[in-house]
Amino acid sequence: VSTPIDLHHHGDAEVAPGLVDLAVNVRHQPMPAWLADPIAASLASLAAYPDPAAATAAIAARHGRPADEVLLTAGAAQGFVLIAQASRGVRRPAVVHPQFTEPEAALVNAGHAVERVLLRAADGFRLDPGLVPADADLVMIGNPTNPTSVLHDRADITALARPGRVLVVDEAFADTTYRMGVDGEPESLAERRDVPGLIVVRSLTKTWGLAGLRIGYLLGPADLLTELRKAQPLWPVSTPALAAATACASPIAMTAEREIGREMAKDRAWLTARLRGIGPARDGVAEVTIAGAPASAFVLIRLPGADKIRVTLRERGFAVRRGDTFPGLGADYLRIAVRDTATTDAFVATLTDVLKESL
Ligand SMILES: Cc1ncc(COP(=O)(O)O)c(C=O)c1O
């Protein structure tokens, strides 16, 4: 890979005290008691080494799988590293972009030459399975995708599976998706045990505001997970993180997730409507275009000159995520977190002012 993109840049680097954070996609809400209490109670047993059995069983039950098809990790980020480290026999790994950059970074760190599959803006960044090289033996894709917020069809993703290929689907944001009339997470493959070589990556850090605790997990065939487990250090997930995993697999958590997803869909519709309300380019004011069909906790926009506008927005108190560190995007893209309507209104008013002043 020759493009000099900083794959290690993440939204947290754009946040600073005093700025409204629209750059990091972690939900900022008080922790519910059903989650806070077990985490706090776990502190009483910190003298013992962590035992993942109960949390593994709880996550397995949540997804209707046997326990040996679950591997708990220190966040989804560790999952990517395990996959990259354990993929020594892989010859042609392909990463579907634009997407979160850590999967590629982990592969590169493990010595792999990564092939980038670039989805097209003209297609609304939707997956075209035909773009993935037929002989790629490891394919990594995000669903819903960070930063495009696009939710690919399940059938397009499973079309990528084949014997001899490991297919990794990063579903870190699956719990942020919602579709009216659908019970559960639309397009998620977490429960699918019939897709050859499928590993689903999940995170509990986003919706539950646990980025500092580090908790996520992998779902997949037992033989593949056994190989990944060997790449893991001893006791990779702390006792408080295990307590959180158990709590987040409970029926109360799943009901709460669906409710959060439903509310977020409204906040997302509000954000997209307000952004569209800025209107077409006129009087020299640049046009804001929503890229793709957003389905997650953030919205990607295309805005000529976005790199400069981002700097001005910072001066006016708003941190948004730059687009130029994502392969397949560029300096004209910004990613904006979905927040409550008051925050969105304040942001869009400021963005509108900045655009007018930049005439
Ligand atoms: C798409 C995506 N996957 C995975 C991660 C990592 O999540 P975790 O905090 O569980 O390591 C992130 C974090 O930003 C992300 O955006």
Q: How confident is the model at residue 38 (pLDDT cuts 50, 70, 90)?
A: very high
What angle (nearest 5°) sits at the alpha carbon of residue 94, between those of residues 198 and 70? 25
Ligand 1 neighbour 79 (Cβ under 6 A)? no
Q: Give the atom of ligand 1 at the shortest distance from the alpha carbon of 100.
A: 1
Ligand 1 neighbour 170 (Cβ under 6 A)? yes
Ligand 1 neighbour 323 (Cβ under 6 A)? no
How confident is the model at residue 16, as a pLDDT?
Answer: 86
pLDDT of 318 > 90? The answer is yes
pLDDT of 39 > 60? The answer is yes
Contact 62, 249 (CB under 8 A): yes
Average pLDDT, the chain: 95
pTM score of the predicted model = 0.96
How confident is the model at residue 283, as a pLDDT?
Answer: 65
Ligand 1 neighbour 218 (Cβ under 6 A)? no
How confident is the model at residue 33, as a pLDDT?
Answer: 98
278 CA to middle of ligand 1, Å? 31
What φ, ψ does residue 79 adopt, rounded to 5°? Answer: -60, -45
From 24, 143, 145, 146, the mutation candidate for ligand 1 (largest count of ligand atoms within 8 A of CB) is: 146
pLDDT of 282 > 70? The answer is no
In percent, how much of the chain has pLDDT > 70?
Answer: 97
For the stretch 195-222, pLDDT in tens is 999 999 999 999 999 999 999 999 999 9
The whole-number average pLDDT for the span 55-78 is 98
What φ, ψ does residue 342 adopt, rounded to 5°? Answer: -65, -45
The whole-number average pLDDT for the span 2-27 is 84
287 CA to middle of ligand 1, Å? 30
The whole-number average pLDDT for the span 28-56 is 97
pLDDT of 2 > 60? The answer is no
Neighbours of 154 (CB within 10 A): 16
Token pair belonging to 121: 């803006």
How confident is the model at residue 276, as a pLDDT?
Answer: 93
Q: How far apart are CA 132 and CA 116, in angstroms?
A: 9
The whole-number average pLDDT for the span 212-235 is 97
Q: Give the atom of ligand 1 at the shortest distance from the alpha carbon of 173.
A: 1
How confident is the model at residue 306, as a pLDDT?
Answer: 95
Give the residues across from 145 on adjacent strands: none
Token pair belonging to 69: 């098809």
pLDDT of 122 > 60? The answer is yes
Ligand 1 neighbour 328 (Cβ under 6 A)? no
How confident is the model at residue 357, as a pLDDT?
Answer: 87
How confident is the model at residue 326, as a pLDDT?
Answer: 96
pLDDT of 37 > 70? The answer is yes
Q: Give the atom of ligand 1 at the shortest distance from the alpha carbon of 203.
A: 10
Give 21's Cβ-side CA count (13 Å radius). Answer: 13
Q: Give the atom of ligand 1 at the shortest distance from the alpha carbon of 78.
A: 11
- H/E element holding 244? helix 239-248
For the stretch 67-98, pLDDT in tens is 999 999 999 999 999 999 999 999 999 999 99
pLDDT of 233 > 50? The answer is yes
Report the helix count and the strand count for the chain, using DSSP H and E: 10, 12
In percent, how much of the chain has pLDDT > 90?
Answer: 89
- H/E element holding 169? strand 166-170
Token pair belonging to 139: 């394919």
Token pair belonging to 312: 């001005």
Residue with tokens 């480290």: 85
Q: Give the atom of ligand 1 at the shortest distance from the alpha carbon of 99.
A: 1
pLDDT of 66 > 80? The answer is yes
132 CA to middle of ligand 1, Å? 23
Q: How confident is the model at residue 1 (pLDDT cuts 50, 70, 90)?
A: very low
